[in-house]
Amino acid sequence: MAELHELPALVLRGLLRSGTVSAVEAATHFLARTEQQNPLLGAFITVTADQALEEARAADARYASTDAGDLPMLHGMPLAFKDLTDVAGVVTTHGSAALEHKPVPVDSPLVALFKDAGVTTLGKTQVPEFGLTAYSENRIAPPSRNPHAPSRSSGGSSGGSAAAVAAGLLPFAPGTDGGGSVRIPAAACGLVGLKPGRGLVTAGESAGDPARLVVPGPLARTSKDAALMMDVLAPGHDYLRALQQEPPRLRIGITQDSPWSSTFPFTVEQEALDALLAGVTLLEQAGHVLGDAAIRYDNRYPDAFTTAWTAGVGAARISPTREALLAPLTRTFRRRAQQRSPAKLAEALAFLRQFQHDTVAQYAQWDLMLMPTLAQTPRPVGWFTGTSHGSDRWPAADWPGDADGDYRKQCEYAPWSSMVNVCGLPAITLPVLWTGGTAGSGLPMGIQLVGPMGSEALLLQVAHHLGY
């Protein structure tokens, strides 16, 4: 029998619900694996072993006194949350040295949703400061590294969670995606990552997100595991059951157009083009009809998106005496956000609503849109900040101050993600290519499929039909 961390989440769930594996056995196994692997990977900021075992014992007691049919959907499943999300009794660092690190009193709605579903919480995973970047590096803990190549980044902002899933420290994990923060690390770590459409998962909405960009979504090794998590995130939609049906024959538009091109002209690496070609081949072999789609984006988008994206960090409660502890990018964009007038933010939000209308109308000519997930292979740790991090020690104060160069690199790395959040559309990334030639060898590269509102089940069906 395979070890527990090698099993799909769906299989592990079945073993837990049947009593073949106890919640304590599962928690103990994943905690031991985390203790062994995390010093290299930096996937977890905080491991809550005592709390996890207490919850696991309670789950086993519940199993002993409950009919199997009445067990919660994720009875005894080990899970962890990115360290932007409050878990009662645990510190939420937000990846920042500028905040006081005190345990929070109550669970966030997202955590409460999963606890109601029966999970055992193992800890908090690594994030960039306030979730702002496409890499999970900060000043308070070692960087999150890619399990397939530890010198490379696991992406961001759900990078710690993605690294944990890819390395078998977790069976699957929820991420949150406000500009690519599920899809970017999923692609970097060779996972399936689904960003649901706006408004579907109400537990993950935030008052500090004026453009309503951020949504929770699953990071998983298979579409079945992603569907299982979606059945918790959005009850009543029967995503797992939907996978029993094949998707219809679809018209899929292929594009490399990006709303960032005019501001940050970028070059698509050959590996990304190879992944796109691999995706086209798979989809055509599955019976879908593909064609080139030319999408026209308004060149005012980058400024408007950046204004909306950084509004939250501008409003964050940070003591003036601790502002100097912010990373250069955070400090720069916080200052700019605070200097903008409310009218400037309102203007940006109005533009993004019009951008959404115009873009969705163009996408609607096709059933799905297809593009690479990332324009480049997973970047080296320290590449965005211009810092070398070959050792396990994370430097506290030696980051260069080139915030604009850092931001430009991120936009060139992931030029096809943020506009999907602005449009509020569902999207999925699939690991269709490995640079070593076979699955699990070399670096993973993904494709992104974007669908209309309400197409989460369709995207999962397509992924499952393609073998993911």
Q: Which of 22, 136, 144, 181 is catalytic?
A: 181
The three state secondary structure string of 433-446 is EECCCCCCCCCEEE
Active site residue 157: yes
Taking alpha carbons only, the member of 100, 111, 109, 121 closest to residue 46 is 121
- CA within 13 Å, CB half, 298: 18
Q: CA-based angle 233:207:187, to the nearest 5? A: 50
CB atoms closer than 10 angstroms to residue 104: 15
Q: Please give the Cα distance from 404 to 425 (Å, whole number).
A: 28
Q: Which of 108, 157, 258, 455 is catalytic?
A: 157
Q: Which of 82, 115, 124, 409 is catalytic?
A: 82
Residue 407 structure tokens: 């931001």
Cβ neighbors of 263 (< 8 A, separation 6 or more) are 299, 302, 303, 411
CA distances 299 to 155, 248, 261, 357, Å, are 26, 35, 8, 15
Active site residue 124: no
Cα 440 to the center of its chain, rounded Å: 20
Answer for the pair 129, 139: CB distance below 8 angstroms, yes or no.
yes
Active site residue 82: yes
* Residues identified as active-site: 82, 157, 181
